[in-house]
Amino acid sequence: MKHWLNWLINGSYPYKKRWWLVGGRFILSLWITIIALCGIVIAGIYVVDPASFSDPKPDTECQTVEYNGEVIDTCEYLYP
């Protein structure tokens, strides 16, 4: 924490002429922290349930029907 504050302030205090540098460094460090935490959460979700990151397979409820004396498989018409 002390190292981060030293980097953040960098020898100047917010009331001096380089206050915008301190604010910019704070926003940058906050942004990097949020991105790192989101990455850790997404990686944790992937490790727990990797199937949630893939497209679901279509339901294949095929039937064989008779039409005009011919047997037709409905899967041929439902899925290319």
Amino acid at site 25: R
The domain limits of the chain are: 2-78
What's the rounded Cα separation, in Å, for the pair 21 and 37?
Answer: 24
The pLDDT, as a whole number, for residue 72 is: 75
pLDDT at 59 over 70: no
pLDDT in tens, 6-48: 767 765 555 566 777 778 888 988 999 999 999 999 999 999 9
- pTM metric for this prediction: 0.54
Spatial separation of the C-alpha atoms in residues 40 and 43, rounded to whole Å: 5
The pLDDT, as a whole number, for residue 25 is: 82
Read off the DSSP letter of residue 67: E
- In this prediction, residue 16 carries a pLDDT of 61
